Structure 1
């Protein structure tokens, strides 16, 4: 019988983000902002093509920085859509999201994951990776990942566990070390404030992707004329128009925080 096999043919690129990270290469600060903004644009847009890209992008968070491949000229492309799904069609498991970028609710056993809740956590972790050339939470195993999260944010309260729809983590209870101490004094203050708005236990208290785009950290992307990136090209004008107004077209449909 005839068997139809669907496949994607992608461009060949010589490097990926993980290889660059292993070499100690750090992204230009402006490039890191652009890439994070593009991630959030996929998550929030109501346009059909962006919805498709977001479905693919779910596969990226279910992978890791190997899924970001680069040209030497500074272009970035997405690859490896093996776990891409249409949002809401399937339940999530902890192993669908690469450990370093896994939101705590999945680490603690929840199967509920939405763009406004879980993927913005992953996007924030990936952005730290871009800025520093190293993962933010680098656990050796799922159990170790839980210990790191609890060490930074403290043992979750009853209300936070209920909000995450998960079980209580089976680790030693401790007070929060705090994200500021964890990342160190040399980390960009605006970038830290952005991460602190997203990386919290209660999903309802995390800033959504649309809210994140209004953050002062992205003021450089709203400048006129458009700033020049490390590849000597300006930020695309279409994206600049969206970011200049400190809002996205889907703000009216934004979930309450």
Structure 2
């Protein structure tokens, strides 16, 4: 009852255990006594305390109520407060998943080629659906991909997602702490391009796929500069043509003055991976966003 703070639907759910905590609040596994189904309930405390957090929460709720897909986590219902005046905490009921891809990678060092392929297929299918609707996730990482024991994956956490309309600019200004640096596309590490595209999510999928293949993060940067160093250590410094397309003067100067590096062969970096997976990974991790394939193209290429 403390969890629900006297919400009207409290008697419908039997709390089983706490399965997650964070800056947003608490997530509990619960039993829906009306349906007999196990669900996850996210409690977001003091939802109106900070404007930026309220906007992020509203964005996630609105998007997930519209995005209905087998590879995206489903909102089952939103619990309404007793009255508008008492509206302080928000309770969102999701389908319950057992774990996330971060834990799957951490706990399993014997994932097979079939695991790799099935994980990638589900992530790409979710991206194809989202990008068709002009929705960019912008914060894809293993912890934001939920998982079940049957290898079913579902993308979650749409708090940083954006909808791109054709008649509005998609300029983005990213601070160092927004999103997770290790999976952030290079164009978001230095405002390299004045507009961004669904290719930012494709880069993140590439980083996640590399982590699935090797069991460890590919680019664990300690800062934005270190992140770019790790990226260019592997894929080499960008071409003069790519650098000339960078709109930001400081970013263009930084790239022009960077020590020239040759790309490391991906077959050398990933010696134990399937050759097809290695070739695909090289395409996903292209420095220039226009050189990365779309989710649909990858699905056609691989599946």
Using the alignment, how far apart are the partners of 2:207 and 2:130 within structure 1?
A: 24
Q: CA deviation at 1:146?
A: 0.8
Length-normalised TM-score, structure 2 = 0.58
Which range moves more in the overlay, 130-139 or 36-45?
36-45
Which structure 1 segments of 5+ residues have no match? 222-257
Structure 1 residues 99 and 210, CA, compared in 2 at 3 Å: closer, same or farther? same
- Map 1:196-207; keep pairs closer than 5 Å: 196-207=282-293
Instruction: After TM superposition, list the pairs within 5 Å mapping 1:37-76 onto structure 2.
Output: 37-45=121-129, 51=133, 55=135, 58-59=136-137, 61-76=138-153
Corresponding residue of 1:195: 281
Aligned-partner SS, 1:9: strand
User: How much has 1:159 moved relative to structure 2?
Assistant: 1.8
**C-alpha displacement of 1:196:** 1.7
Aligned twin of 1:35: 119
Per the alignment, residue 105 of structure 2 pairs with: 21
CA RMSD of superposed structures (Å) = 3.1
More strand by share: 2
Aligned-partner Cα distance in 2 for 1:122–1:189 = 20
Q: CA deviation at 1:145?
A: 0.8
Q: Does 1:151 align with 2:228?
A: no
| Whole-Å separation in 1 of the counterparts to 2:127 and 2:153 | 18
Q: Does 1:103 align with 2:185?
A: yes
1:198-221 CA distances to partner (integer Å, 9 max, x unpaired)? Answer: 322222222222222232xx2xx4
Q: CA deviation at 1:173?
A: 0.6
Q: Is the 8 A contact 1:164 1:202 kept in 2?
A: no
Mapped contact 2:122–2:153 kept (Cα < 8 A): no
Q: Which runs of at least 4 in structure 1 moved beyond 6 Å after TM superposition?
A: none
Q: How does 1:219-230 map to 2 (within 5 A)?
A: 221=303
Cα gap change, 1:62 to 1:18, in 2 (>3 Å):
same
Q: Indicate yes or no: 2:216 matched with 1:134.
A: yes
Q: 1:140 to 1:179 in 2, by over 3 A?
A: farther
Unaligned runs of 5+ in 2: 1-83
Q: Which residue of 1 aligns with 2:62?
A: none
SS at match of 2:95: coil
Bigger relative contact order, structure 1 or 2 (CA pairs below 8 A, ≥6 apart): 1
Taking structure 1 as the reference length, the TM-score comes to 0.67
8 Å contact from structure 2 (residues 160, 179) kept in 1: no
Larger radius of gyration: 2
Aligned residue pairs: how many? 209
